[in-house]
């Protein structure tokens, strides 16, 4: 459970913004979306390989 203490004289909108930032950093929504449907291990591995190839391509283009 996230706890955000509101400081004296602090605007409630500012405190909400801090709370939302904390919530986003916990990656709860990403985990929920990931668990929404089952992915076969072979598909996960394929996606991981494609992502690695893309990153390598960007790295090689950057260092030309």
User: pLDDT tens across 16-59, in order?
Assistant: 999 999 999 998 888 998 899 999 999 999 999 999 999 999 99
Question: Helix, strand, coil proportions of the chain in percent (round to 5)?
Answer: 70, 0, 30
Does the predicted model carry a pTM greater than 0.75? Answer: no
The answer on pLDDT for 1 being more than 90 is: no
The radius of gyration of the chain's CA atoms, rounded to the nearest angstrom, is: 19
Q: Give the separation between CA 20 and CA 25, rounded to whole angstroms.
A: 9
Assigned token pair, 56: 């390598």
Query: Residue 29: what pLDDT?
Result: 87
């Amino acid at each position: 459970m996230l706890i955000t203490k509101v400081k004296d004289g602090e605007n409630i909108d500012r405190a909400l913004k801090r709370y939302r930032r904390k919530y986003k950093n916990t990656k709860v929504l990403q985990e929920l979306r990931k668990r929404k449907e089952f992915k076969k291990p072979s598909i996960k591995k394929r996606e991981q390989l494609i992502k690695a190839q893309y990153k390598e391509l960007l790295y090689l283009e950057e260092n030309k």
